[in-house]
Amino acid sequence: MTQLAFTKAQATGNDFVLVSDPDGELDLGPQRVARLCDRNFGVGADGLIRAVRSQNLAEGRELQAAHPLAEWFMDYRNGDGSIAEMCGNGVRAFARFLTEPGRGTLAAGARVEIGTRAGLRVVERDGTGFKVDMGPWRLEGGEPLVTVPHIGVSRPGLGIDVGNPHVVVALSSEEELDRLELFHAPLIDPAPELGANVEFVVPHDQLVQDGVGHIRMRVHERGVGETLSCGTGAVASALAVRYWAGAGAPDAWSVGVPGGVLQVTVATLEGVEHVFLAGPAEIAFTGSVEDELASELASPAGL
């Protein structure tokens, strides 16, 4: 009977199914990914990560040509099966996965280069778990209007790209944040061509404490729904509040999400502003699926 081994990992409650496919032989169609991620009929997860050696995937070969040390490529899919550029919590979960026996070790302070569709991500093991250099970021411009039930009128958002698209909306109080209903995707006007993750953020009563900014956020992830955490969403939220705060805003931020706390810092490297994401990542369990689910996944891929 055909079986497919998997690992379940989570990073501040954002959970992932990870599949080892070093030779790039699996064809993960969107329906199969969606079923694996289904919490009733599959393993259950916010997304799926296929671990492929960069040389065995077209996107990976292109990236590895510029970054020879990027041995592994993170092939990330949203919970609905759609392909995504990358995932900040997913990168940390992937780095944790790569520390498993047979794939390598990552000692404290050591670094590993990981390929993604959003480019290279460099991960370092630190006291919180894993710290990721998310690279440069940019404002997307404009103030798209965001509509979601139970918060009254539409609110202006701030478009931010951190390798994948986000729209960040400021709310007036923690009570307003808590009563949000994010069962359905918020409406964005004008609608981004490729969609966007939408974050709703509230600063703490004392925004800056000991040089660190403190905010809370909730998120509706494109292709997933509301999740307990979103790494790139935490980054986008910190960058948005930092932008709104203006001159003198801190470069270090603590971002509270329903699944825990993430740390975001901004630093300039070789004249370019990079943003870093740090937080825990843990293996939950391992297992295998079989019968129809596994056999349909195991057909050769056209690379």
Q: Write down the residue that tokens 């689910």 correspond to.
A: 293
Q: Does 87 qualify as catalytic in the annotation? A: yes
What are the angstrom distances between the C-alpha of 145 and each of 138, 181, 221, 284? 19, 17, 17, 38
Q: Which of 87, 114, 122, 170 is labelled catalytic?
A: 87
d(CA 277, CA 234) in angstroms, rounded, equals 8
Q: Which of 230, 264, 281, 297 is labelled catalytic?
A: 230
d(CA 292, CA 282) in angstroms, rounded, equals 29
Nearest partner of 230 among 269, 193, 182, 189, judged by Cα: 182
Distance of CA 152 to the CA centre of its chain: 29
> Which pairs count as long-range contacts for 243-249, CB under 8 Å and 24+ apart, including other chains?
243/139, 243/158, 244/158, 244/170, 245/207, 245/213, 249/208, 249/213
Q: Does 37 qualify as catalytic in the annotation? A: no
d(CA 295, CA 301) in angstroms, rounded, equals 13
Report the catalytic residues. 87, 230
